[in-house]
Structure 1
Amino acid sequence: MRRKVTFGVGVILFIAVLTLFVWQGSFHFGDYDPITPEQRYVFWAISTVVFLLTVAIGFMLFRTFVKLYIERSRRAEGSKIRTKLVAGAIALSFLPVFFLVIWSVEVLNRNLDKWFATPAAGIRDTLEKTAQELKTDTRDRARALAGWLAHLPETQTYYLTGGRDNNTFDRLCQENRVAAAWIRKPDGAIAPLCGAPEQKDGGVEAGLALPAPLQGELLVRTPIAVNLAAQQKEIDRRVHDFDQLSLDKKSTRAFYLQLLLLITLFVLFVATWLAIFLARQISVPITALLDAAREVRRGNLAHRVQVDAMDEMATLVRAFNEMTEELGANSRELERRRRFTEAILESIPTGVISLDSDGRIRRVNRALKQMFSEEQVALANRLRDLFSDEDAAEIEYLMKRARRTGIASNQFELRSRDGRTQHFAVTVSALDAKPASGFVLVLEDTTDLLHAQKAMAWREVARRIAHEIKNPLTPIVLCAQRISRHLDRSGLGEDSTRVLRECARTINAEVDSLQTLVDEFSQFARFPAAQPAPADLNDVVESALAVFAGRLEGIEIRKELAANLPPVALDREQFKRVIVNLVDNAAEAMQQSLVRRLYVATHLPTPDVVELTVADTGPGVSAEDREKLFLPYFSTKKRGTGLGLAIVSHILGEHNAQIRVESNAPGGARFVVELTPVTIAEGRPSEVSA
């Protein structure tokens, strides 16, 4: 870049020096005067070259202005600063150039007027008159000498003798400074007296007729002084030149005006070029910086400014490149941290929602999509799209608290838009609490924890109830039996005996019912731990359905057992009880249905999940009852104990399995159990979590 600048400055200096020489020599041509046609052609050629140079420089200057106008109208980058610098340079250079041109034109006009003024013409006329008077005097003298020579006796003798002796005339001519004398006879013959009549040496000739009886004319040529003749020639030449210059006065003025215009345009062109050059030194790096800034804004932090710059602009370019390099390093570090944070957020089982200051959902993690339906989460824009209006209002209240305190939390039983009820521990954290630029909502699903706590509490209750009920049952049974044995010996009447016997039977029946309840309580309270082992789920299903052989009258059983299921880890007896409970509940639910169809199926929806489905065509389960269905002592049947599905939930928990309740189409309920298949890796069984 510095070499280019040096070269440009050198070219400008060379042109400036050349212009100075042209300026100094443009008003002086030395001894050159355009008088002859050849010289006029040279003068016209020089004028043409000057005119063409003027047109060329004017065109380049006009082209530069048009280019600047187009760039500015298109709002090209750097056009404004280039236009301002060019306008400033022209304004600074135009004023001195303008006044210089005005002064030069004035000087030129004055000089031309002086050259062709009236005094000069008067001098010319005086010189011409003086030269004419000198010729007249010389001619009068020559005529007088001719008269004198014509009346000399020697002339008559010379004429009559035929010119045999002219020594006398040579002496006379030399004494009287006569260049030549001769007689011209009537027949045109010339008889020289002295000198050489045929030589034209610039003298003045005069003649007189010969006296009678001589015939002819005597002519005398008297020479003019040598220096006077040369001066006369020079005067004639100068007068002729002055006349020619007077005719070329307008052409001369036009030539010098063209030269002045050429110099003016050249100065303006140089000023414009320098302004554009300086503007490029600023605009080119600035344009490159703007392009680089746009690339950085688009995320291309690897972009660097590759442009030659000088001085402070070079420092700015270097600082920008260093800044983008640091931004790239920081961006890579932030990206690494972001990926690490996202990996953590996507792997934790806690649902996380990121919201802006207006409560709009910006981002959710995978766990939240599992808590709700993925389609519902994808379409959600605000909390009210996920939760009911009451629950969303509660969470928004927590957000207001977090805006003041930075963090707020509470326990909620939230109902989603699809009707499911779940228990959550909700924590809201404000980002930059004063004022909050956004919120992070953390939802920890405590439904299973609460169910486990409730199940634990109910097992303790069941153990105590079984203990408290079992103790008085034995005396009651014994008393009822004793009453029955002593009725025959009591001697009571037939009616009394019948009443007492019916009461005893009722007591025994109710005691048996209580004993059954006590046994279920005891079994629920001290349920044995599961001992899972790899097993074929289809075999367990077949074994469980065999229990109902011939017992499900009026119910159509459909089995769809997938082939080639991977083995699952389960306790066969306990899992058989799960299937028995589910089938028994389904059969009980279809007692009042017109269409009674039981559907049992197994399939492999994904490589890491095996599903067991038990569906019926009964009345189904309402959304309110689905969350409480697996709690102890909750039953939708009139005489149900509420322990069957609680035992199912407990057994599935021992197997790390999940169960969910869905609506069956066109009616009824669908219970879906998800199990984890067992894979064999290097000869050792291991579980693959769903």
Structure 2
Amino acid sequence: MARPGSLMPRLRWLLPAVASVLLLLAALYLAADAEGLGGAQADSYLLVFAIASLAVLGLSVAILLRILGLWRRLRAGEPGARLSRRWLAWLLVLGLPPILLVYGFGVRFIGATVDSWLRANAVEVLQQAARVGQVYLSEREASARRVMDDLLSGLAERPRSEWNAWADRMLVDSGALQVGVFDASGRNLALAAASARWIRADAPAEDMRDLPLSGSANVSLEPVEQGLVQQVRAKRSVGGTVVLAQIVMGMPEAVAEDLIAIEEDIASARRSLFLRDSLKWSFVLILSIVFLLSLLLAVLLAFEISRRMVAPISDLATATRAVAEGRFDVSVPGGGDDELGFLVRGFNRMLDELRDSTRRTRESQQETERQRAFLAAVLGRISSSVIVLDAEGHVRVANPASEAVLGSAPDAWVGRALSALSAQRPSFAPLVADLLQRMRGDGREFRAEVSSGEGDQRRHWLLRGARLADEGMVVVLDDTTDIDRARRDAAWAEVARRLAHEIKNPLTPIQLSAERMRRRLLPTLSAEDADLLDRSTTTIVAQVEALKSMVNAFGEYAQAAPLQLRETDLVELVGDLIDLYAGESRLSVSCQAAADVPTIRVDPGRIRQVLHNLIKNALEAVPEGPVSVQIALSAEPGAGMLVMQVSDDGPGLPPDFDAGWFEPYRTTKTKGTGLGLAVVRKIAEEHAGTVEAGRSAAGGACFTLRLPH
């Protein structure tokens, strides 16, 4: 496939070449037809003129485009444009006058030549020859009519049975080729022929049937394969029957050819005299087409010659301007054996040296950029926040992860003082102060653990830094909040596992011993002592059961069973849970679900445990009186999350409630394990979800669980 850059020069000459070929073909066609004195059809002339007009238009458009191109180059002040204009003017002055002179002499020569070809007396000579032929034809026609009269009179004198014999006799006496007699319907009544090829019993033609009855015979010349024949036809009434008679008589071959040639020459001479002026104009038109072709091609060649002559100088000037602008990727084409070629080659050598120098510089810059891009890629893919500061504490580089510290796009912080972070994010003021103090110190490297924020927003950071050679500093901050929480959760789980193991072992013997003491001693004691023993053993058994429940809770928190995930309709699950609590007198549980709540892949038992824990917390927060719990289900299509809100109308969350309340053993109640909210958060995280706490519209607590679907 041709490239656009190589296609345009081809198109510059494709249009003129096609137009020139069309003009030449049109001129050749008109010249061939002019030699035949206008034998072409008018439609062909129109087509040729249309093609010639399109060709002239194409050449004119090509010239106009080059004129516009030169005009734009002159307007733009391109190098070589004025010199091209000067070359073009001189070439046109040298080339156009000879073409115009030849055209003028050609027009005069055509007029004189055509007049000498076509003289008026040529037609008179041919007409005299034609009159001699007409006398001969008139004598032949009179003889043919006499033969027809003899044929018809003989038919009238003879019965129909002798008509064939009479036709044969007339054929021999007259020397005819065929004698035929037909009735009005076209049926053959008599037929005689000089040879087998004339024995035809065809029905007479329609024009023969239309001849007048009893009129004179019709004589005409008809062309056949061997030349001309004289055909005599008559329509008469013979014995009360209308007959159609036809006699075909031969013409001498030489006479027939001479008569045809004379008629054609007369017609040709008359047509030539009539078209003499048209013929002149045809030749003038042919000459004009050739003149236009020569003229337009001369102009095109003038443009091309001027372009080729000026091109090396223009290329040199353009390349010089490009080099002055700092572009060394240019080269000057050409370079012959003359002085201009020597100049072009020297200029190209200079450009090669400049390009080589520029290439080395560019490669060095590219290597630097690659190293910088590699460093940026490394910084962009690590989760730690990396901030590079200059000696004055201004941010030089910050990776994408540092947005968690800076609070906005890292690029926006480049060039700004890090101290401005204290005003923008007051919770980071201690961290910034500690960092700036270490910058002013003498240490080359440092490592510290710092915190930022309060309450739910409190984060823990591992701060590491190193001083750079230019007195700047690179600082790396790792958010260890989640890691610390995971460690605490693991530690609490280990504590819960050990407590469950150490406490559960003696509980069963204690319970069994208390029940055995009661069963054996109760019947032997007095009423007062028996009552004391009964109360004591009952208390022991009840507390042992409470301890067992606590131990089981520790065990569940320490090591939960694997999730049993399946597609679950949470609306149906919440409905079943409401039915379960229907018997609770002071508890009212309701559900409000949106219409677009989808099914979700979860462990139904774990989700049910979350709802049980939150409803239990609501009941325990209000020791007496009715409690209303509302469960709302909705979807967040854009985030792909299902939202479940559990809110109550109780006293609400404690004033110091923060994320730490979701850790184990945080509670304000006198009873319980303090694992309820910890289990809720653990189940949410097992499902790749989150849980948040807040205040409900009724003033109570509101827990929001978000699960992906």
What TM-score, normalized by structure 2, do the two folds share?
Answer: 0.43
